[in-house]
Structures are given as C-alpha cells and as structure tokens.
C-alpha cells in the first residue's frame, strides 16, 4: 500500500527551534521513511519592512507588540497557492486545549499549516480570515508557539500509519479510550522481593486483558476522574 506523506508547514520567526524535535528518534525516522514532510518557514522573509520586522504596537495602546497581518498573509497565501490545506492552525494559550481526540483528527489530514505566535499574539484579523483551528497545549503561557507546535507535531506524527513499528501500539496509549494506560512490567519478575503481578505471568490472555482494563479504570478513577465524566474531547 502507498501512503502519501502528510505535509506540515510551520510558520515561525524561530525556525531553528523547530529543528531538534525532528532530528532524532521516531519523528526523524518518520521523515526519513517519507511518511511525513515538515517544512518550516521564516516569517521574517515575508516582511517588507526594514530589519524584517513582523510586529507593531497595539492600536488603542497597551503593553506588548502584536504580530502584523501582512507577512503572515503573504506566507499563507503563497502556501495556499501551492496546495490545498485541511486546516490552518494557530498555536495560542486561548485556543482549545489539545488532547488525543484532536491529535487523532489531525492525523487524518493531508496538509496542515501551523502558525506560531509571539509577543502578545497576532492581529485578530489573521485569526478571523485565515485560521481554522486554535490550539493551546495547556493553561500556561509559553514564550512562543514553537514548543507547543512541536508537541502537536510529535503527537500527530506518531499516529501516522507506518510510523510506529507495532501498528497497534498507538491505539493502546493512555487517552485513546479516555482511560489511562494500565501498569506495565518487564524483567526481572522479582526484583528484591518486589514481584510482578502473578496474572501477567500466567499466559492467560483473556484474563490479562481483563486485569489490564480493570487496572486502567482504577488508575483513571484515582488520578484523572475527569476523563470518566465524558466531558473531555470533541
Ligand atoms: N503560545 C504561548 N502559550 C501557548 C500555549 N499554552 N499553547 C499554545 N501556544 C502557546
């Protein structure tokens, strides 16, 4: 079977920040195998102002600079002239909180753009005109959207077919069924008297599956009861 690679275009003033997450381990392998293409675009190259400025003072006054619409518009329009995009995402602390459900949905798309904000954020007209999805990675403020974008990319890329060696392993992750993962063990079966639960050594697969499900439920009730309330995810 042939898979078209997913394509992720990242618009940023700090493309160098977007290099190392894709230069090692699973993400690097996914790129090397041609399962995903990640392209970073230096927003400053789309500025026509001196010193390649991409921000300006707020109308109405107030502290903090705002990213201007012109370079962002030029960059997005250029990308859109080259291919169709399924989603144009803006990383922002006031977006919808990222979760596994959003990652699953994004992993089905062919082309996405991720815009990384800085300073106070972008001119509202960028959001109104271009952005189709706004994502936050949590209720805290980063110095820019790049680290958040790399988290989204990591979460999405590992879901793409062929990226993980064991095709089923992404499906058994924590959160895939709104449950945390059960406890896991490996050798030795007895470490200084701390023993692995007997059932896991029994070879009885159905019993093991039941035990794992019970443990997952118990752990979720203890640590993340909110997941069981069915209020999470889209
Ligand atoms: N940019 C700054 N803080 C962020 C957050 N929490 N999530 C996404 N983008 C951000």
Length of the chain: 234
- Averages of pLDDT over runs of 10 residues in the chain (234 residues) are 84 97 97 97 97 97 96 98 98 97 97 94 98 98 97 97 79 84 97 98 97 97 92 47
Pick from 14, 89, 93 the residue to mutate for probing ligand 1's pocket: most ligand atoms within 8 Å of its CB. Answer: 93
Q: Give me Rg for the CA atoms of the chain.
A: 22
- Relative to beta strand 190-191, strand 133-136 is unpaired
Question: What pLDDT does residue 177 have?
Answer: 85
What residue owns the CA closest to ligand 1's atom 6?
93
Tell me the C-alpha to C-alpha distance, in Å, between residue 28 and each of 39, 103, 108, 154. Answer: 13, 19, 20, 10
Whether the pTM exceeds 0.75: the reply is: yes
Question: What pLDDT does residue 218 have?
Answer: 98
Question: What pLDDT does residue 233 have?
Answer: 46
Burial 9-33 (b: 16+ CB within 10 A, else e): bbbbbbbebbeebbeeeebeebbee
Map residue 24 onto helix, strand or coil: coil
What is the CB < 6 Å shell around ligand 1? 91-93, 117, 136-138, 140-142, 145, 148
What residue owns the CA closest to ligand 1's atom 5?
93
Q: Is the link from the previous residue into 15 a cis peptide, with omega within 30 of 0?
A: no
Question: What pLDDT does residue 3 have?
Answer: 64
């Amino acid at each position: 079977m042939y898979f078209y690679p997913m394509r992720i275009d990242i618009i940023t003033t700090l493309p160098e920040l977007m290099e190392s997450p894709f230069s090692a381990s699973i993400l690097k392998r996914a790129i090397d195998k041609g399962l995903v293409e990640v392209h970073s675009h230096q927003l400053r190259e789309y500025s026509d102002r001196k010193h390649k400025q991409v921000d300006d003072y707020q109308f109405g006054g107030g502290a903090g600079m705002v990213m201007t619409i012109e370079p962002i518009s030029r960059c997005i329009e250029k990308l859109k002239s080259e291919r169709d995009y399924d989603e144009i995402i803006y990383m922002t602390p006031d977006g919808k909180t990222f979760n596994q459900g959003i990652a699953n949905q994004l992993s089905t798309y062919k082309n996405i753009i991720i815009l990384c904000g800085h300073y106070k954020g972008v001119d509202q007209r960028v959001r109104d005109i271009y952005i189709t999805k706004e994502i936050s990675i949590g209720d805290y403020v980063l110095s820019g959207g790049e680290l958040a974008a790399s988290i989204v990319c990591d979460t999405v890329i590992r879901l793409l077919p062929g990226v993980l060696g064991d095709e089923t392993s992404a499906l058994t992750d924590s959160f895939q069924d709104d449950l945390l993962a059960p406890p896991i063990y490996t050798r030795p079966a007895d470490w200084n008297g701390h023993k692995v639960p007997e059932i896991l050594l029994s070879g009885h697969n159905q019993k093991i599956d039941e035990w794992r499900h019970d443990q997952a439920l118990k752990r979720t009730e203890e640590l993340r009861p909110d997941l069981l309330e069915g209020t999470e995810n889209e």
